[in-house]
Structure formats: C-alpha cells, structure tokens
Amino acid sequence: VYLWLEQENITHAEAVMFALSMSPDDIEIAQAALKHCQNDVSRAINFLIEHEDRESFEKEVKSNTTHKNLFQMPVDTFLFDVIQFLTDYIRDAPQFCICCGLQQSMALLKPVTCDRQLCQFQQINLGLGVSLEAELVHRAASVDLLICMTVSSAIENRHFLPFPTIQTSYLKSNNERVTATFDKNKPNEVVDMIQQCPSVTELATYAKEGILQEKCFAISPLLYPLLRWIVATNRAHLKRLDENLDMGTDFQFILKSSTPEKEKAFQNAKKECGGSFFAWHGSPLGNWHSILRVGLKNYSDTVHQRHGRAYGPGIYMAVDANTSLGYSAGYNTWKNSQFGTQLKCVALCEVIDYGTPTNCLGRVHRPNCSHCTSAPFYRVEAEEYVITRFFFIYSGSSSFSKNASELSKSVLQNKDYQMMSKVNK
C-alpha cells in the first residue's frame, strides 16, 4: 500500500478517502483519523469503519476550528504534537499555579504561584519561578518601583493586599532551627525590613557577583524571600519606556496587565465599537501594589472603594493628567529608591469608544453625559472596557497638565505601543 502511495504520489489522507469513497470535502475527517492512528492508513480506515458513532465524529471534526488549524501542518510527527502542547501550555500558563498546576482564582499576564502555603514555600525556598537576580540586573527600575508600591501599601495599611505570606527557616549560631515570618497584623514589620534594604544598584551588583542572598541574609533572613515575593507575585508587565513621551518626567513605564484572552476581547470590542480613546487614572502608589496583582477593578460599593462615587459606580478617569494626579496623594515610601521618598503616579488607559458624546449608552460615561450632566469625569462601569497602557511617576509635590487627547498621536507613534499592537493582532 505504501509503495503504491509513493509511486502514484498520493497522500495518506487521499488513500483513506479513496478506500472509503469519501468526497473531497471530507479531507479533514481523513486527516483527523490519521492523526488519531499515528498516520497509519490501514488503522485510520478501520477506525472510521468501526467507529461507534462516525457521524458524530465527523460533525465534531468539521465544527472544531482547532482541527482546521492543525491540519494545515503535517500530522505525521510526534514533534508537532509536542510543540502544540507546549504552545497551549505557555499560552494558558497565567491561569494556573506554576507549582501545583491547579487553576488560579483569576489570571493576569504573568504566571505565578497560588496562595497555598506549600506552593508559596516552594517558590521562596526552592527557587521556583522568577529569578530575582535576573530582574535586578535587567529591570532594576521596575524592581525599584515594585518595592516602592509595597512599602507605600504597608505604610497606609488600608488594603495591603496581597500580604507577603512568607515563611523561612534557618539555623542560629547554636544550631537551633528558627522559623521567621511576617505578622499580618503588623505591616510595619514589612516597612522596617525594606527600609534596611540597599538600593537596587547595590542589589544588582551583589546579583552579578553571586552574593545577593548572602548580603540579604546578613541584614535579615526574611529580606531575600521578601524581595523575591514582591517581584514574583507581580502579574503585570512593567518596563521602562525606550522612548519617553512628553509628560514632564523621566520615570515612564509600559504597564500591561491584561491576559491574551482579555486583550483579544478588548480588541474585538474596539473594532465593533469603532475605536478607542485615552484617559487618565490616578490612585495612590500603595493601591498599585494591588492593581498590578489583580488588575484595575470597579470597586464601587465595596470595602475596597477609596474615593466617593458621587456620579455613580465605575472606574473614574480624567481628561487631564493633573486632575488624576490630585487623586494620587503621595505617601512616604522606600528611602533608598531612585525615584525619591514621596511619589505620585498616574496611568494612561485605553478605553473602548462605546456610545457617543451625545448618546450615552451606559458602560462608558463621558463627562457631562445624559446620565449625569454635572459629572466632570469619565466613568467606566464595564471594567473589561479599560486597559492600562502607560505609567508615569512624579515627586510628591509635582503637578503636570496634559490632555489625554493631545497625547494620542505621540502614543500611536510610540514604538513600545506599536509593539503591543502587533502582539495584540
């Protein structure tokens, strides 16, 4: 049979179709059977003949878009199956714990461990997951910012979530084994610990020399696990901008926190609604400790609501950056930060252009819309219609005025934003 196939230049799928008098439209069914039978023509023919419910099998193959994509490539290779498995695994990784593999309660951009104590222990003590040393060497500014957010959240102690559930054990000089951890009722322990931490420049030097853990342990056995926890639990992509925008500060970052699924849904909604626009969102630095781990949420009428909701529920955003900075009251933060000890921050968000200025359809409310004619802000009830794009840091006494619409052209021409757009497509 195989000699005949070779001589007549007939594919395996065509042989199966010929043997069973199948129509040309059934090639996907033949390919699916061959894939199931490791590309053995005889087994594939018998499989289709003896299949208990061939009709349902054929319907499943024809309706399954995954099969249609797979059959554009060779199906007679084990390596292809491995590549397909790895592709699916990497794509879905943020949905599952990197240690136990169980599904997370929520997923953002980066894969992290779940809240189970064993998984936390494996991450901190066995070195699973993120490399703190690599992050310090290659993304020191981002690590600095993450530390500042954690300190500010702990100082304010309003909603210090998630709390660093770290536990480590070590031997004292008398060979007594001691367990160290942080008390959830004493967030100042986290603050005091980080205030003893050297700058990220020094930490990066220690990392290059291979003595980072040793130096941190000399300060406290909890310092290295704490720094690693701060970096490893961040589920967002935070990176210093290669090309700064005209925003009156040198501290500018990409801030991308949406999963590929959420990003795809956002892009689809953007096409359906005819586009998007940019607006500013301001919140104290400590709040971003939580936002980077759970996303930008509509917390109206919940215990996490910080400011009032005078114009209704939703995520509030402003036309001008200075307005949002007014809601970013600075708190003291890490004393060794390169950014300073009192910081304010604002995020530039992309919002689905749902409805029109004269015809508000809900979900996305513009200033002075028909639902609240006195409202001076954007108010987005559908949190899936908002995605963070950029993040800007200012000193505690700074102010900067910039209309988001004036920045749109620069944003669209920015290489970092264009790269995000290519990935999204």
Taking only the tens place, the pLDDT of each residue in 87-125 is 888 878 888 888 888 888 766 677 887 777 778 777 766
Is the overall model pTM greater than 0.85, yes or no? no
Mean pLDDT of the chain: 83
What integer pLDDT is reported at residue 162 of this predicted model? Answer: 87
Angstrom distance (rounded) from CA 337 to CA 285 = 13
User: Please, are residues 20 and 49 in contact by the beta-carbon 8 Å criterion?
Assistant: yes
Highest mean pLDDT range out of 29-38, 59-68, 333-342? 333-342
What would the mean pLDDT of 369-382 be, rounded to a whole number?
Answer: 83
Say how far apart CA 29 and CA 60 lie, in whole Å.
9
The pLDDT assigned to 71 comes to 42
331 vs 283, more confident = 283
What percentage of residues in the chain have a pLDDT greater than 70? 84
Of residues 137 and 70, more confidence is placed in 137
Are 319 and 404 in contact by the 8 Å Cβ rule? The answer is yes
pLDDT higher than 70, residue 72: no
pLDDT at 312: 83
Per the CB < 8 A criterion, the answer to whether 144 and 203 are in contact is: no
Q: Tell me which of 16 and 142 has the higher pLDDT.
A: 142
129-151: average pLDDT: 93
| Distance from C-alpha of 101 to C-alpha of 268, rounded to nearest angstrom | 30
Better-predicted residue by pLDDT, 58 or 190 = 190
Share of the chain above pLDDT 90, in %: 39
Output the pLDDT for position 412.
86
Helix residue ranges, H only, 20-162: 27-36, 41-50, 54-63, 65-70, 78-92, 117-125, 132-138, 140-156
Q: Which of the two residues, 419 and 218, has the higher pLDDT score?
A: 218
CA dihedral sign, ordered 121, 127, 130, 131: positive
The answer to whether the beta carbons of residues 211 and 218 sit under 8 Å apart is no
Q: Which amino acid makes up residue 354?
A: Y
Nearest CA-CA partner of 309 in 395, 251, 372, 226: 372
**What Rg value do the Cα atoms of the chain yield, rounded?**
27
Provide the 3-class DSSP secondary structure of residue 142.
Answer: helix
Q: pLDDT band for position 75 (50/70/90)?
A: very low
Q: Which residue has the tokens 């600075």?
A: 330
Predicted local distance difference test score (pLDDT) of residue 18: 76
The pLDDT of residue 155 is above 50 = yes
Q: Is the backbone peptide bond immediately before 162 cis, with ω within 30 degrees of 0?
A: yes
- Whether the predicted pLDDT of 10 surpasses 70: no
274-291: b (≥16 Cβ within 10 Å) or e: eebbbbbbbbbbbbbbbb
- Taking residue 77's Cβ as centre, other Cβ atoms within 10 Å add up to 11
Which of 7-11, 65-69, 276-280 has the least mean pLDDT?
A: 65-69
- Total Cβ atoms within 10 A of residue 23: 8
